[in-house]
Amino acid sequence: MRRLYRSIYLAVITSLLAVVVIAGLFLRFGLSMPPMNQNLEFASEFVAAMLPGSDRPRPELVAAIRRIAERLRTDVNVFDAQGERLAASGENLAPPRANDNGGFRYDRGGPTWSLQLTDGRWVVLRAPARHGNPILALLLTLAGVAGIVALFAYPVVRGLTRRIERLQAGVETLAAGDLRTRVKVEGKDEVARLAESFNHAAARIEDLVGAHRMLLANASHELRTPLSRIKLGLELLRQSDDPKYRAAVEEDLRELEDLIESLLTTSRLDAATEITSPEPVDLLALAAEEAAHFDDVSVEGASIVIDGDAKLLRRLVRNLLENASRHGRPPIEARVSALGPLARLDVIDHGPGIPVGERERIFEPFYRARRDTPGTGLGLSLVRRIAKLHGGDARVVDAPGGATCLRAEFALPRKPA
């Protein structure tokens, strides 16, 4: 994965390298003229050759220096051997120091070059300043460096902020109620992973809200049927105290209670991400206990213990056996086994079977192949949800002889290293 901090770090390093390269090219090609001290040395030699001798009148020396200064555009001062100024053109320069051998020197006004003539006189030259003060030059240089850094860092920073802006807009759109909102995933850094996480979370929220809406709509519809029968049964009981009416009302109340319990369990499983208080559960013993409430159900297999919620696992086994009893034909078999990291519970019946096109749909909430099919359509949906909460899944598998087999799988406890 490409780390974001590496992109920013490389952008800064690239900017600094660009500054170094541009500065080197400028020094190599932009300053192709001889250095300042070399220019001053040539000028001093030229001035020395053009000065009149020491025996000439002073006005002639002053006139000669003025012509030379105008021609070279340089400040020129001439001193005697004792350091007294004989003539000057331009600004007055500092005289040579005692025991001065001449050459380049940097004074407060800028670099100067001094040369002693054969007759003891000194020629001191200084090129006049052609630019502003050093502080301004430093500020301009720093501004140039900042401009180069900004030029190279802008694509990285703008690309990062653009993606963050899109992510922010997606969050605001999702918060406004548009659950179909997704953001574009670009790159392979932390921002890209954040965008992927946002899309995954948005899809999960959309699925949960859609499932709750469907659950509410179907639940309101399913609750009407037993309530209507209970209302009718109570009316009949008022007219006649027939035991069959009382039994019918009691049956409808049990159906209503079972439906409400299933709805509450479904809602609780939607919000659950892990088992809060797992405990060891023997699948074979649990299957045997539940099978005792049904006719023509046999249990076989190995004693396999998993960590889970005993109440939910009991509900899973009961729902599988009730499904086989309602929609299948005896004999019904419950087999417990293990393969690799998973424990298996297979419930096999010899009914008409499940068409291939409906093998996934039967695990959807409230799905029934026909409206007159008994049950609420939540049993197998709860089976899959409980199995997934225990690290497995539920599905329809092929069984020998055309039998119908519903398989629930669960994660086995990890063995200590």
Task: Grade residue 230 by pLDDT with cuts at 50, 70 and 90.
Answer: confident
Residue 379: CA count within 13 A, CB half-sphere: 21
Average model confidence (pLDDT) across the chain: 79
pLDDT at 31: 47
Average pLDDT for residues 357-370, to the nearest whole number?
78
Bigger pLDDT: 350 vs 239: 350
pLDDT for residue 216: 67
The verdict on 56 and 102 lying in the same domain is yes
Residue 416 lies in a domain: no
> Of 21 and 84, which is predicted with more confidence?
84
Per mean pLDDT, which range of 31-35, 94-98, 302-306 is the poorest? 31-35
Q: Specify the pLDDT at position 368.
A: 67
Q: Which residues contact 103 (CB under 8 A, 6 or more apart)?
A: 37, 113, 114
What mean pLDDT do residues 388-396 have?
Answer: 91
Instruction: Please check whether residue 179 lies inside any domain of the structure.
Output: no
280 pLDDT band, cuts 50/70/90, is: very high
254 or 279: whose pLDDT is higher?
279
- Do 251 and 298 share a domain, yes or no? no
Q: Is residue 87 domain-shared with residue 122, that is, in the same domain? A: yes
Does residue 353 sit in the same domain as residue 284? yes
* DSSP state letter for 416: P
Residue 157 lies in a domain: no
Structure tokens at 248: 């019918």
User: Does 185 reside within a domain?
Assistant: no
Residue 381 has pLDDT above 70, yes or no: yes
| Stretch 290-298: mean pLDDT | 89
User: Which pLDDT score, from 0 to 100, does residue 124 have?
Assistant: 87
- Which of 250, 271, 292 finishes a domain? 271
Q: Give the pLDDT confidence score for residue 5 in this predicted structure.
A: 65
289 and 221 in one domain? no
Calculate what percentage of the chain has a pLDDT beyond 90. 14
Average pLDDT over residues 25-50: 63
| Res. 320 pLDDT band, cuts 50 70 90 | very high
Do residues 369 and 390 share a domain? yes
Confidence band for 155, pLDDT divided at 50, 70 and 90:
confident
- Share of residues in the chain with pLDDT > 70 (%): 82
Whether 406 and 301 map to the same domain: the answer is yes
For residue range 181-213, what is the model confidence (pLDDT) as tens digits?
A: 888 888 777 788 888 888 888 888 887 777 667
For the segment 140-146, the average pLDDT, to the nearest whole number, is 75
Confidence of residue 1 (pLDDT cuts 50, 70, 90): very low
Last residue of a domain, one of 98, 126, 154: 126
Rounded to an integer, the average pLDDT of 228-236 is 75
- Phi and psi at 308, nearest 5°, equal -170, -170
What is the average pLDDT across 363-372?
68
Contact between residue 120 and residue 96 where contact means Cβ atoms under 8 Å apart: no
**Per-residue pLDDT at 33:** 45
> Is residue 347 in some structural domain?
yes
Could you give the count of Cα atoms lying within 13 Å of 46 in the half-sphere of its Cβ? 15
- Residue 16: pLDDT band (50, 70, 90) is confident
Considering the domain architecture, whether residues 285 and 265 belong to the same structural domain is answered as no
**Is there a domain that residue 228 lies in?**
yes
In this predicted structure, the answer to whether residue 106 has a pLDDT above a threshold of 60 is: yes
**β-pair partners for 89:** 76
Claim to verify: residue 262 and residue 295 sit in the same structural domain? no
In this structure, what CATH number is given to the domain that contains residue 258? 1.10.287.130
CATH number of the domain at 54, please: 3.30.450.20
Which tokens hold the place of 259? Answer: 């439906």
Q: Which residue segment(s) compose the domain that 359 sits in? A: 279-411
| Residue found under tokens 């809060």 | 276
Q: Are residues 387 and 311 in the same domain?
A: yes
Of 36 and 102, which is predicted with more confidence?
102
Same domain, 217 and 119: no
Is 76 contained in some domain? Answer: yes
Q: SS3 sequence, 1-30?
A: CCCHHHHHHHHHHHHHHHHHHHHHHHHHHH
Query: Packing angle between helix 310-327 and helix 243-271, nearest 10 degrees?
Result: 130
pLDDT value at residue 129:
55
Burial track 260-288 (b if 16+ CB lie within 10 A, e otherwise) = eebbebbeebeeeeeeeeeeebebbebbb
In a domain? residue 134: no
The rounded distance, in Å, linking the Cα atoms of 88 and 134 is: 26
> What's the confidence (pLDDT) of residue 282?
93
Residues 291 and 390 in one domain: yes
Give the total number of structural domains in the chain.
Answer: 3
Query: What was the pLDDT predicted at 131?
Result: 47
- Looking at per-residue confidence, does 242 or 67 come out higher? 67
